[in-house]
Structure 1
Amino acid sequence: MEAFTERWTKNFAKLYTDVPLAEISWFTGAVSPMLSQLVIDGTLQPGQKVVDLGCGAGVQAAFLAKHGMDVTGVDSSPAALEAARRLIELFGVELDLVQADILETTLPDGHADVVNDSFIYHNVRPEARDAYVAESARILKPGGLMVVVGFSDRMTPGSGPIRLTSDDVLDPFMRHFEVEEFRRFRNLPTQVRPDQWHWFGLFRRREAARQA
């Protein structure tokens, strides 16, 4: 099963290979303010094992490693992982990078305390959402946390990722996770999309999956 939407695979997946990093629209060099706040308030702590799914150029992964976490970045793009290696060197941190599909990460069961999804889920095909959430839950310890940030249905219309309704996010997660926090927030503006309305979700892995 293909993880990502056709728009992503046809138009965006090759950008890490073909376009300078500075010209990629979603590369800001900054982490989500929601992720920063989770570090500030101690929800994410030094020593925790964190998997950054779809880590791309490694901004989130390097940030978390800089704050003392044991981080594994997963991405299917060799070019993105090479960019991540350069950023890791710049940050002066150590972390593991794994080239793998987000639906089959190759990581062991219960590997992580935290799974971070920064603008990945909103590129996942609707028919692949259940598989993606199940894989995220598999690599988390029972009681572990999953952090999700992505476009909401109030986002400026246009091309790119899916504008997600609350049901788009919550329905696939409810079998494996309990909801600790879920809300819209305004993220940093860009020239293309000055009014950024995103979802923030904090989900805790259930001890056992709900039966369908």
Structure 2
Amino acid sequence: MSSAVDRLDSSQERDDYWNAYYADSGVGRPLPSQFAAFVAGELDGPARIIEFGSGSGRDTLFFAAHGHDVTGVDASKAAVEACTAQAAELGLDVEFLAATIDQDGLAAQLRMSPGSSVVYARFFVHAITDEEQTAFLDLAAALTSPGDRLAVEYRTVRDSSGAKVTGSHFRRFVDPTSFNAEAVLHGFDVTYAVEGFGFAKYRQDDAYVARALFARR
């Protein structure tokens, strides 16, 4: 399912790492990712969007500013606190929730709207374990109804040897064929899938990524 892992140790070590990372770096209102702009262009109108691995909130805030009903979920309490404050400062009605992907009762805390909802995850899939990936897809299936969408972008196995600006980040490298097959088993059909360079370039780090859209059947 994935290749070698970069410093992917215990869940507590990862939680500590991300809390320290967001506490040190701060959270502002950066430009949205290319993927967020792409997904926004695929939506017919206002949608209910839940972003997993919301991090700095760049995409969550972007979606909210464009009229979508958005919740950002991240395991880092530091990131959630900073994003909540930033949303209030900007006058955006956005909920940020601190939770792990396999947290008991998480699905019950997240409201979705059948037929007009999106589960969104950019650079999240490669930051979790194989087991957490299955938990993510379990949760996406539990939250969605026929017609709802799943949108993901992540580093693939072909990216393992490339330069990394954030070299200390926890990451694994995912096989898109395996991910898509697992998503299909969870009730999602692939409606768009592409791989390559140029989709998520950041300074000298031109990540080789996969981006895909799925429809809940």
SS at match of 1:183: strand
Give how far 1:117 is off: 0.6
Give how far 1:10 is off: 5.8
On the 8 A contact 2:189/2:214 being kept in 1, the answer is yes
- Specify whether residues 84 and 44 from structure 1 end up closer, same or farther in structure 2 by C-alpha distance, changes over 3 A only: farther
Report matched runs for 1:122-141 at 5 Å.
122-141=126-145
On the 8 A contact 1:120/1:150 being kept in 2, the answer is yes
Q: How many residues align?
A: 197
Report matched runs for 1:96-111 at 5 Å.
96-104=95-103, 105-107=106-108, 111=112
Partners of 1:16 and 1:119 in 2: CA distance: 14
Report matched runs for 1:142-157 at 5 Å.
142-157=146-161
In the TM superposition, what whole-angstrom CA distance separates every residue of 1:88-124 from its partner, at most 9, and x where no partner exists?
1343211122222223424368724111111111122
- Specify whether residues 71 and 77 from structure 1 end up closer, same or farther in structure 2 by C-alpha distance, changes over 3 A only: same
Partners of 2:120 and 2:192 in 1: CA distance: 15
* % identity of equivalent residues: 21
Report matched runs for 1:170-181 at 5 Å.
170-175=180-185, 176-181=187-192
Q: Which residue of structure 2 aligns with residue 210 of structure 1?
A: none
SS at match of 2:158: coil
In the TM superposition, what whole-angstrom CA distance separates every residue of 1:54-100 from its partner, at most 9, and x where no partner exists?
22231111110001001111223221101111321343211122222
On the 8 A contact 1:66/1:91 being kept in 2, the answer is no
SS at match of 2:102: coil
Is residue 195 of structure 2 the alignment partner of residue 194 of structure 1? no
Give how far 1:167 is off: 2.4
**Whose helix fraction is larger, Structure 1's or Structure 2's?**
2
Give the residue type in structure 2 aligned to 1:182: A
Match of 1:163 among 158, 168, 173: 173
Give how far 1:154 is off: 2.2
Q: Which residue of structure 2 aligns with residue 72 of structure 1?
A: 71
On the 8 A contact 2:39/2:151 being kept in 1, the answer is no
- Specify whether residues 189 and 133 from structure 1 end up closer, same or farther in structure 2 by C-alpha distance, changes over 3 A only: same
Unpaired runs of 5+ in structure 1? 207-212
Q: Which residue of structure 2 aligns with residue 43 of structure 1?
A: 43
Is residue 97 of structure 2 the alignment partner of residue 85 of structure 1? no
Q: Which residue of structure 2 aligns with residue 209 of structure 1?
A: none
Give the residue type in structure 2 aligned to 1:167: T
Give the residue type in structure 2 aligned to 1:32: S
Structure with the larger RCO, 1 or 2 (CA within 8 Å, 6+ apart) = 2
Report matched runs for 1:109-124 at 5 Å.
111-112=112-113, 113-124=117-128
Q: Which residue of structure 2 aligns with residue 57 of structure 1?
A: 56
RMSD: 2.8
TM-score (norm. length: structure 1): 0.79
SS at match of 1:103: coil
